[in-house]
Amino acid sequence: MAIHSSNRTDVNRSAILARLGADGPASRAELARVLTLSPALITQLVKELLADGLLVELDQAPSNGGRPARMLGLATSAGHAIGVKVVADHVAFVEVGVDGRVVRSASEPFDATSSIFIAELVERIRGFIAAGDGTTVLGLGVGVPGSVDGLGNGVVDSAQLGWSGVELGDALRRATGLPVVVENNVNALAVAERLFGLGRSHDNFLVVTIGTGVGAGVVLDGTVLRGASGGAGEIGHFPVADDGPRCGCGNDGCLEAHIGEGALVRDARRRGVIGPEGGIDDLLDAADAGEPDATAIYGEAGRLLGRTLAGIVHTVDPALVVVLGEGTNGWRHWSPGFEPAFRSHLLRHRRSLPVEIETWQDESWAQGAAALVLAMPFDAAGAAGDQGRLIRERLVGQVVRR
């Protein structure tokens, strides 16, 4: 996941901290191998981290011959990041260490359409922070389903939440006194994949989420593609039918209107697979029981997703596709429709492209939001404005006070 340009947020340095925090001391050669970075780049990045006081050189490792390798370790493990996932009916929280490991998590009901939704969100965030052990909070990362104009500004437009021009970043900064980074939730997951997941060994990959909505995080040449207004990757709003059902965005025939959770449930009710009050869990139970219409609903959704993703693959040329989201709980029923449709619509030389399905927990979204905070201390381009600088100062400050 090497980044070869200084005008990007340098996730490589965050990845070094995460690797050492998760697995303990390592040599430069080990870091280069695990993170798939060149020895020269590792040497430069380690030099910078040592100068910042974030790394320390430890005893030499045993050698079977030649010069013994110097081991590197974290100068401090102090400082945690808070991640928040916001959806229409609840908020999920995680607190993570610099290695990305979840220290604690929680979920609270939330009404995104309430007239006082910001006050309610602030109350829940403050409550989660207060329940911690007092470890310094480096910053707050927030993932939302929708477009975010800038990581530091955090102005949100979201059809799922019913928000238009909501100045979320400023509101949360004023209320908490913390650095705040806001991002589209799928882009946040893509950052987490680069730091801690399958994306560590790829410069170009695609994160696709299925569930309540459908979205994508696109990583090209080692950086998350945001687009002109932060709306890149909104594949749920690909038009796939001229006369399709109305989407939450107001348009007709969007992919999400066909294969999002609401669409699957609506189709299942119409076909009599589940009752009028039945939900997605009931549909999954029916498919698990072998109910033909239930399996057909998933199969049709899989085919449409496969065809659409084939077009996206031809557009961005990823080395890997990672599928995440609540919908993956039923992937065994999506797959029979997805695989043949996806492979048959790819050019022949791309048909072996790996597609990995990751197991899913609700806190994964929030962990992605927390990863934003861990990536921002090395935001050379200033993508998050002052927020990246403030997070870095808090991180370095933990070393000074140690």
Amino acid at 199: G
**Same-fold call for 11-74 versus 203-319+326-357:** no
Q: What pLDDT is attached to residue 393?
A: 80
pLDDT along the chain (402 residues), means of 10: 42 80 84 86 90 80 61 78 93 87 91 95 95 91 91 89 94 94 91 82 91 92 84 91 89 95 96 96 97 97 97 96 94 97 96 90 79 75 74 71 52
We find that the CATH architecture of domain 80-190+363-400 is 2-Layer Sandwich (3.30)
Q: What pLDDT is attached to residue 243?
A: 85
Q: DSSP code of 27?
A: E
Q: What pLDDT is attached to residue 18?
A: 77
Give strand pairing partners of 108: 91
Measured CA to CA in angstroms, residue 258 lies from 13, 83, 121, 262, 339 at distances of 41, 30, 31, 9, 18
Closest to 393 measured CA to CA, from 162, 39, 54: 54
Fold of 203-319+326-357: Nucleotidyltransferase; domain 5 (3.30.420)
- Number of residues written out for the chain: 402
Give strand pairing partners of 351: none
Residue with tokens 């910078």: 48
Question: What's CA 371's distance to the chain center, in Å?
Answer: 8
Q: What pLDDT is attached to residue 5?
A: 36
Query: How far apart are alpha carbons 99 and 101 in whole angstroms?
Result: 6
Assign domain 11-74 one CATH number from 3.40.50.300, 3.60.20.10, 1.10.10.10, 3.100.10.20. 1.10.10.10
Query: How far apart are alpha carbons 179 and 176 in whole angstroms?
Result: 8
Query: How far apart are alpha carbons 270 and 90 in whole angstroms?
Result: 28
Which residues contact residue 176 at a Cβ distance below 8 angstroms, ignoring those fewer than 6 apart?
122, 125, 126, 129, 140
pTM of the model: 0.82
CB of 34 within 8 A of CB of 16?
A: no
Strand order in the sheet with 180-184: 102-109, 90-96, 80-86, 137-144, 180-184
Provide the token pair at 326. 């609540």
Q: What pLDDT is attached to residue 381?
A: 56
Q: Delimit the domains of the chain by residue range.
A: 11-74, 80-190+363-400, 203-319+326-357
Give strand pairing partners of 205: 219
